[in-house]
């Protein structure tokens, strides 16, 4: 399920690195909205407001024609430590950018997660990475 994972070095006074993780579930994984809702639920806000209110979503098409839906939300990262686990992260000051990449063989997911300043440092590179997505051609 985990296709690739990249470590993006921390910046400034951040205590840890950010990560980009790419997932593919064999054509499964739910629709765009279900994933956006799940990713939003992985963040809480320090003021108690809904993360949905502060989340930003954008959509774009890559040069090769793949449709990408991108979520960007900051707050306290509270996702499950492992899928199905009752144990959850508690990482305040984090930012999560998660992309749903629609392909004919099913969606791919590329998540950038880490301390907000480090994610900000790497954000443009992450978007460039997403923009470069294309289907490989078989010969």
Q: Looking at the domain assignment, is residue 137 inside a domain?
A: no
| CATH number of the structural domain spanning residue 123 | 3.40.1000.10
**Is the pLDDT assigned to residue 36 strictly greater than 50?**
yes
Q: Looking at the domain assignment, is residue 37 inside a domain?
A: yes
Q: Looking at the domain assignment, is residue 76 inside a domain?
A: yes
**Is the pLDDT assigned to residue 29 strictly greater than 70?**
yes
**pTM of the predicted model over 0.75:** yes
- 120 conformational bin, left if phi > 0, alpha if psi -120 to 50, beta if neither: alpha
Q: Give the chain's domain count.
A: 1
Condensed to tens digits (0 to 9), the pLDDT of residues 88-107 reads 999 999 999 999 999 999 99
Q: Which domain holds residue 15?
A: 2-131
Q: Looking at the domain assignment, is residue 56 inside a domain?
A: yes
CA dist 36 → 1, 13, 71, 136 (Å): 19, 30, 7, 26
Q: Looking at the domain assignment, is residue 124 inside a domain?
A: yes
- Lowest-confidence pick of 30-39, 110-119, 127-136: 127-136
Mean pLDDT in residue range 28-36: 95
Expressed in angstroms, the distance from the first to the final Cα of the chain is: 25
Q: Looking at the domain assignment, is residue 30 inside a domain?
A: yes
Q: Looking at the domain assignment, is residue 136 inside a domain?
A: no
- Give strand pairing partners of 57: 71
CA distance 30 to 125: 27
CA distance 105 to 115: 32
Q: Looking at the domain assignment, is residue 15 inside a domain?
A: yes
49 phi and psi, to 5 degrees?
Answer: -70, 165
């Amino acid at each position: 399920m985990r296709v690739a994972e990249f470590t993006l070095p921390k910046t400034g006074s951040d205590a840890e690195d950010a990560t980009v993780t790419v997932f593919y579930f064999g054509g499964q994984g739910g629709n765009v909205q279900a994933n956006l809702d799940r990713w939003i639920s992985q963040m809480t806000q320090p003021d108690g407001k809904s993360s949905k209110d502060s989340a930003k979503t954008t959509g774009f098409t890559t040069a090769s024609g793949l449709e990408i839906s991108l979520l960007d939300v900051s707050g306290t990262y509270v996702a499950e430590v492992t899928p199905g686990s009752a144990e959850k992260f508690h990482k305040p000051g984090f930012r999560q950018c998660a992309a749903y990449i629609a392909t004919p063989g099913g969606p791919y997911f590329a998540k950038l997660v880490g301390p907000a300043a480090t994610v900000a440092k790497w954000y443009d590179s992450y978007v460039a990475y997403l923009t470069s997505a294309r289907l490989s051609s078989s010969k």
